[in-house]
Amino acid sequence: MNKLLKLISAAVIGSAIFSPAVRAATAFDGLNVLVQNNFQSQNSEIHGALAVGGNATLFNYGVDLFSTPHGGIGGYGLMVGGNLNFTNGSVGKFTNPAQTYYGGTLSGSSVNYTGGVNAVNPINFGALFSQASIASAALGGYSNTGATTLNVGGTYGNSGGLTLTGDGSSAVQVFSISGTNLQTRNQIVVNNVPLTSAILVNVTGTFAQLANIDSSTPFAPFGGNVLFNFNSATQVHFDSTGLRASVLAPNALVTSGWGYLQGTVIAKEW
């Protein structure tokens, strides 16, 4: 389990920052995407488990394709509280099957439910969403430990650069940026942050966007321990972006174009 899930759990209970050596489990373990209301997407895939509190509509889609073992939540790869409309795709792989749960009706066709359908709901959607909201608000109140710089001229002459400069020592390196400034950035550089640290980026404002940026390279050395917290956002858009980080946006509709998110995503709607 990565530090970011522990960071979320620590924020929920108001505890002190955890030691990187702590390996206590959290309620979010195994989840790749958690959406409070409805989820609609097509022509893509989710590498881990997908949990949707409302209805899910999927077309040409793969769910829980690469997690090991498959079915990150007690053997489940897809959990839908409401109706599931799924056409063309799969949940898990035949070599490593994952179960599916839905609480409403099932429609669609040509889907490989490799682990079958189980009528038992393995998670408490309401409790998870409540914890996520509490955590986002708490994390949004963390004091900055580093500086956020909008580059004039940018790195290598890039006028859209964003530089995150840490303090070189904190276990959790905290930065903040407005959604308005973030949406004009097309490059991210990380300086003076220990590779053993987690990175928390608090994004303020009701709208935020990461577009035309490949930020996987600067975040790759941190082993997935990077979290973008959109506590006040009601809409977050990703497009032409590769992001090796997690996203916490419990009040937001997430929309996306081309690209990928390599981490855990918690949102109100997708």
Could you give the CA distance from residue 50 to residue 169 in angstroms, rounded to a whole number? 35
Q: Which pLDDT score, from 0 to 100, does residue 16 have? A: 28
In sequence order, the 6+-apart residues with CB closer than 8 A to the CB of 100 are: 76, 77, 78, 79, 80, 84, 91, 113, 115, 116, 117, 118
Does residue 206 contact residue 233 with C-beta atoms inside 8 Å? yes
The H or E element spanning position 138 is helix 125-140
How would residue 146 be classed by pLDDT, with cut points 50, 70 and 90?
A: very high
Alpha-carbon distance of 138 to 120, in angstroms, equals: 32
What angle is formed at CA 227 by the lines to CA 223 and CA 233, rounded to 5 degrees?
Answer: 160
Measured in residues, the chain has a length of 270
Residue 82 is classified by DSSP as S
* Residue 25 pLDDT exceeds 60: no
141 to 134, 202, 222, 230, 233: CA distances (angstroms): 11, 9, 23, 12, 15
pLDDT on residue 121: 92
C-alpha–C-alpha distance, residues 117 and 71, integer Å: 12
- Is residue 79 pLDDT above 90, yes or no? yes
Q: List pLDDT tens digits, range 149-169.
A: 987 555 555 567 889 999 999
Which distant-in-sequence residues (6+ apart) come within 8 Å of 65 by Cβ? 45, 46, 47, 90, 92, 93
pLDDT tens digits for range 187-238 = 888 999 999 999 999 999 999 988 777 666 788 888 878 999 999 999 999 8
Q: Are 54 and 37 in contact (CB under 8 A)?
A: yes
Tokens of residue 249, six digits: 């946006």
Region of residue 138 (phi > 0: left; psi between -120 and 50: alpha; otherwise: beta)? alpha
For residue 41, which amino acid is it?
S
Summarised one tens digit per residue, pLDDT across range 44-68 is: 888 889 999 999 999 999 998 877 6
What is the C-alpha to C-alpha distance for residues 133 and 8, in angstroms, rounded to an integer? 10
Please count the other Cβ atoms lying within 10 Å of the Cβ belonging to residue 112: 14
* Residues β-bridged to residue 180: none
71 pLDDT above the threshold of 80:
no
Count Cβ atoms within 10 A of the Cβ of residue 231 and give its class: 0-12 exposed, 13-18 middle, 19 or more buried.
buried
